[in-house]
Chain A
Amino acid sequence: MADLRSDFLGIKSPNPFWLASAPPTDRKVNVERAFRAGWGGVVWKTLGEAGPPVVNVSGARYGAIHGPDRRLIALNNIELITDRDLEINLREIKEVKRAWPDRALVTSLMVPCDEESWKAILARVEETECDGIELNFGCPHGMSERGMGSAVGQVPEYVEMVARWCKAHTRMPVIVKLTPNISDIRQPARAAKQGGADAVSLINTVNSIMGIDLDRMTPDVAIDGKGTHGGMCGPAVKPIALAMVAEIARDSVTRGLPISAIGGVTTWRDAAEYIALGAGTVQVCTAAMTYGFRIVEELTSGLAAYMDRKGYARIDDFRGRAVASITDWQHLNLNYVAKAHIHQDLCIKCGRCHIVCEDTSHQAIVAKLDGGRVFEVNESECVGCNLCVLVCPVEGCITLDHQTQGVDPRTGLAYERAPLPWTAHPNNPAVKAAE
């Protein structure tokens, strides 16, 4: 049986599944329920500075995108940081850590962007004996209007500055949580590293409006007739998060910087993908908020079964293994040729491959409608784009097969040719210039 134990910045947890800083981790009662269910750790919902508590709306604070069967595809929220008294939170964090010493307990923080504020809160958090802190530079709604959250995360200089203050004023590990609402995720990640942060976690929520109510003419989740943009999470954001995690994992400056990955983790497979991109732990929120804490049983058993199947004894055995395969477009082999192949025995004859190729791509799937309704790939036109594979309702019915023998009827060139990236391609003006 695979060993799922995790050691992230020296923070140990029985498995790499942490609950992200969010409503599920706002209070002792929730966190203890999570630990009893088997979660490896939590990032306690973001604490603010001492003083009058934050005030949340008292109406709908979540919106969603549903599939037809009401399956939740994405969630968004306009909830602020914790609206509970700082002292209560600190006391509960201390109690929970004492009661659950084997679990990871990281505290998320967001205070005004001045050194004294950070210094003050850090001292208080250290007293709880929690395992580390996560700097919330991510939330795109509410707090950002007050100069916190993503208002900080979108300015790399601020990220570096605050990270530096935190490292200076605490011995706890510092994780910087990054906002995806920025054009180049490497900039804040580099800044975090530059400021001395021990790790980054990403992504925070994606700025979003989930829909418009066409009868009321308001956002479809509105408070007294008005709505605002919120932060989106859940399965829909996973591809965005994967791309950002990959950028940081392979960037020459941030390579090796520990990553706690966040974004739409719903099953063990999602988690394994992030780990393959170098993540040390994964954080989960939407799946728990959709199904409850018990999903961790599937996450741990699925991940362990995968590792057993592959012969990975520990998480580190496959962590980061996919990073080297991610590159820039210009390095892709332009002499590689794949073509679609329709396995007729699996075909249910819906014809979607044909119509999408005909209407929107390369007219490379022929429909033979007389006597039998057969769809066949015309290799003289097929560019191997994969669209037919993706729209086919039957898994495995259409495959994209690497061509190695003979001549490509589309180009007249041999299939078997030496790899040729754009950087060396004769059509690349830069190559010509260098000659």
Chain B
Amino acid sequence: MPIAARPQGLSDVATARLDRKTLDANFSDLHPPLGPHEARVEADRCYFCFDAPCQQACPTAIDIPLFIRQIAADNRAGAARTIFDANIMGGMCARVCPTETLCEEACVREEAEGKPVRIGLLQRWATDALIETGRSPFTRAAPTGKRVAIVGAGPAGLACAHALSLAGVESTIFEARPKPGGLNEYGIAAYKSVDDFAAKEAAFILSVGGIEALYGVRLGEHVGLDDLRRDYDATFLAMGLGATNKLGLPGEAELENVADAVEYIGALRQAPDLTLLPVGRRVVVIGGGMTAIDIAVQSKKLGAQNVTIVYRRGEEQMKASRFERELAQTNGVVIRTWARPVAIESHAGVFSGVLFEDTHEHEGVLAAPGSVFRIEADMLFTAIGQRGALEALDSAGVEVKDGRIVVDAERRTSVPGVWAGGDCALGGEDLTVAAVEDGKRAARSILSALGVAA
């Protein structure tokens, strides 16, 4: 339902809770980039490990010791090239990867002194300058005449298109939204990707050439999978998750100021002016993943006074990492666990709060003892997971399970000539870095199927 400013007293939802200067500061870089000296000093902390654990922990297997050594030796462009060879979205991954559970958790300095090498920030240092140029450092192989259709211009789609292009295979990307980048552009918290970085990165990737991107084209609406299979040598499905889960409570769909977190974040990311974005004085968020954290923290940064995340299980079961949970808490967000919503309440047709019941786990099943409590609020965000909108695949017979496309290790679907990766594929980790790896693997498999040398 739409979000509308309401007069104070009845329900307090307002724009411009904070002045523009404060908003700009609130939505600046979560982790400011390193300067040249910091990068040199940090790079020197790397031990250049044998068979480095950090590299093994990276879903895209970036040669981390090598790129850090290149930084230490004042070869920033070489470092960037090492990163992009393994992960063309190394710039965004440097910003959004949960490094504390991947490379930096594996860093031997984490074991030695509890302070891993700041690999994410070093990766950003290496990649930023090259992306700023907007020019690809890669050279394409001679055209093979092969053409691949890619559905979705998110991390998986762009990574696949880029890898294909290097091998001389041209591709056409069909993207439903008006811009490339997928969740990088529309989903990631604003303070993790400032200065329009997602768009710059997409432009940088596309600058290699050989990739045609069509925007506002939705699979099943403007083009069918059968058309793609007929017109192209291969098809890669990377359209992400098009739908969000619902609470299924009365009022969820009709009431004003009850909003889907994913949609709201998309609007926030595209807002030309954050002072125009209405936000409640008291906000309640239902969910336990990254999206719940993102919407809660961003609500706070927009000026909400009280923000409460309510999750039906315990903190350990939250999909949001410990780092993210702490980020929410240090931003003043309250996390309440072991409670689930039973009713969305309204007063005179306006959302007024949520009634929750306490929960506990009994033999693996969530149970409620019957006690309830109410959180009065001006806005409710639901962030209880996303699922694929895969109706368009039904006619082609692509196997789908749990709302996601079934793929093998090479990211092949059940239908010959059709590959899938990123969030829409089953088994993914819902991470940019995992989507990039999917795109790479699918590209490798497609090249092999088409008889093209990678």
Query: By DSSP majority rule, is chain B's interface helix, strand, loop, or mixed?
Result: helix
Residue of A nearest to B39 (CB): A68
Which of B37, B41, B53 is A349 in contact with, Cβ under 8 Å? B53
Q: Is B109 among interface residues, defined by CB-CB distance under 8 A?
A: yes
Least Cβ–Cβ distance between B79 and chain A, in angstroms: 15
A348, A350, A373, A393: most-surrounded residue (chain B CB, <10 A): A350
Q: Is B324 among interface residues, defined by CB-CB distance under 8 A?
A: no
Q: Compute how far the CA of A68 lies from the CA of B43 in the bound complex, rounded to whole angstroms.
A: 9
A367, B51: Cβ atoms closer than 8 Å = yes
Q: Is A390 among interface residues, defined by CB-CB distance under 8 A?
A: no
Given A68-B40, A348-B111, A373 and B53 contact (CB-CB distance below 8 Å): yes
Residue of A nearest to B47 (CB): A350
Residue of B nearest to A67 (CB): B44
Given A68-B72, A69-B41, A352 and B112 contact (CB-CB distance below 8 Å): no
Least Cβ–Cβ distance between A139 and chain B, in angstroms: 33
Given A69-B41, A393-B112, A394-B112, A352 and B48 contact (CB-CB distance below 8 Å): yes
Q: Is A88 among interface residues, defined by CB-CB distance under 8 A?
A: no
Residue of B nearest to A394 (CB): B112
Which of A367, A369, A393 is B47 in contact with, Cβ under 8 Å? A393
CB 8 Å contact bits of B354-366 with A (1 = contact, 0 = none): 0000000000000
Contacting B at CB under 8 A, from A364-396, are 367, 369, 373, 393-394
Q: Is B108 among interface residues, defined by CB-CB distance under 8 A?
A: yes
B40, A350: Cβ atoms closer than 8 Å = no
Least Cβ–Cβ distance between A165 and chain B, in angstroms: 51
Contacting A at CB under 8 A, from B40-73, are 40-41, 43-44, 47-53, 72
Q: Which residues of A contact B52 (CB under 8 A)?
A: 351
Least Cβ–Cβ distance between B185 and chain A, in angstroms: 37
Q: Which residues of B contact A355 (CB under 8 A)?
A: 50
Contacting A at CB under 8 A, from B107-121, are 108-109, 111-112
Least Cβ–Cβ distance between A287 and chain B, in angstroms: 22
Which of A67, A68, A69, A350 is B49 in contact with, Cβ under 8 Å? A350
B41, A350: Cβ atoms closer than 8 Å = no
Q: Which residues of A contact B37 (CB under 8 A)?
A: 70
Least Cβ–Cβ distance between A20 and chain B, in angstroms: 30
A69, B44: Cβ atoms closer than 8 Å = yes
Q: Is A341 among interface residues, defined by CB-CB distance under 8 A?
A: no
Least Cβ–Cβ distance between B106 and chain A, in angstroms: 10
B44, A348: Cβ atoms closer than 8 Å = no
Q: Which residues of A contact B51 (CB under 8 A)?
A: 351, 367, 369, 373
B109, A352: Cβ atoms closer than 8 Å = no
Q: Which residues of B contact A339 (CB under 8 A)?
A: none
Q: Is A354 among interface residues, defined by CB-CB distance under 8 A?
A: yes
B108, A348: Cβ atoms closer than 8 Å = yes
Least Cβ–Cβ distance between B299 and chain A, in angstroms: 41
A68, A369, A373: most-surrounded residue (chain B CB, <10 A): A68
Q: Which residues of B contact A69 (CB under 8 A)?
A: 40-41, 44
Q: Which residues of A contact B44 (CB under 8 A)?
A: 67-69
Q: Compute how far the CA of A69 lies from the CA of B43 in the bound complex, rounded to whole angstroms.
A: 10
Which of A68, A70, A349, A354 is B108 in contact with, Cβ under 8 Å? A349
A354, B41: Cβ atoms closer than 8 Å = no
Q: Which residues of A contact B109 (CB under 8 A)?
A: 348
A350, B72: Cβ atoms closer than 8 Å = no
Q: Which residues of A contact B41 (CB under 8 A)?
A: 68-69
Least Cβ–Cβ distance between A323 and chain B, in angstroms: 37
Q: Compute how far the CA of A349 lies from the CA of B47 in the bound complex, rounded to whole angstroms.
A: 11
Least Cβ–Cβ distance between B44 and chain A, in angstroms: 4
Least Cβ–Cβ distance between A355 and chain B, in angstroms: 4
Q: Compute how far the CA of A423 lies from the CA of B119 in the bound complex, rounded to whole angstroms.
A: 54
A348, B48: Cβ atoms closer than 8 Å = no
Q: Compute how far the CA of A348 lies from the CA of B111 in the bound complex, rounded to whole angstroms.
A: 6
Residue of A nearest to B112 (CB): A348
Contacting A at CB under 8 A, from B301-339, are none
CB 8 Å contact bits of A343-358 with B (1 = contact, 0 = none): 0000011111011000
A67, A348, A352: most-surrounded residue (chain B CB, <10 A): A348
Q: Compute how far the CA of A327 lies from the CA of B388 in the bound complex, rounded to whole angstroms.
A: 77
Contacting B at CB under 8 A, from A53-70, are 67-70
Least Cβ–Cβ distance between A16 and chain B, in angstroms: 35
Q: Compute how far the CA of A367 lies from the CA of B52 in the bound complex, rounded to whole angstroms.
A: 12
Given A68-B40, A68-B41, A68-B43, A351 and B111 contact (CB-CB distance below 8 Å): no
Q: Which residues of A contact B48 (CB under 8 A)?
A: 352
A351, B40: Cβ atoms closer than 8 Å = no
Q: Which residues of A contact B111 (CB under 8 A)?
A: 348-349
Least Cβ–Cβ distance between A178 and chain B, in angstroms: 35
Residue of A nearest to B50 (CB): A351
Contacting A at CB under 8 A, from B218-252, are none
Least Cβ–Cβ distance between B57 and chain A, in angstroms: 12
Q: Which residues of A contact B108 (CB under 8 A)?
A: 348-350, 393
Q: Compute how far the CA of A267 lies from the CA of B37 in the bound complex, rounded to whole angstroms.
A: 26
Q: Compute how far the CA of A354 lies from the CA of B52 in the bound complex, rounded to whole angstroms.
A: 12
Question: With A354-B50, A393-B108 given, can you name 11 additional A-B contacts, CB distance below 8 Å?
Answer: A68-B41, A69-B40, A70-B37, A348-B109, A349-B111, A350-B108, A352-B49, A367-B50, A369-B51, A373-B53, A394-B112
23 residue pairs from A and B, CB less than 8 Å apart: A68-B41, A68-B72, A69-B40, A69-B44, A348-B108, A348-B111, A348-B112, A349-B49, A350-B49, A350-B50, A351-B49, A351-B51, A352-B49, A352-B50, A354-B50, A367-B50, A369-B51, A373-B51, A373-B53, A393-B47, A393-B108, A393-B112, A394-B112
Chain B interface (Cβ < 8 Å from any Cβ of A): 37, 40-41, 43-44, 47-53, 72, 108-109, 111-112
Counting from the closest, the 9 A-B pairs by CB-CB distance are: A351-B50, A68-B44, A355-B50, A348-B112, A350-B49, A348-B108, A350-B47, A350-B108, A348-B111
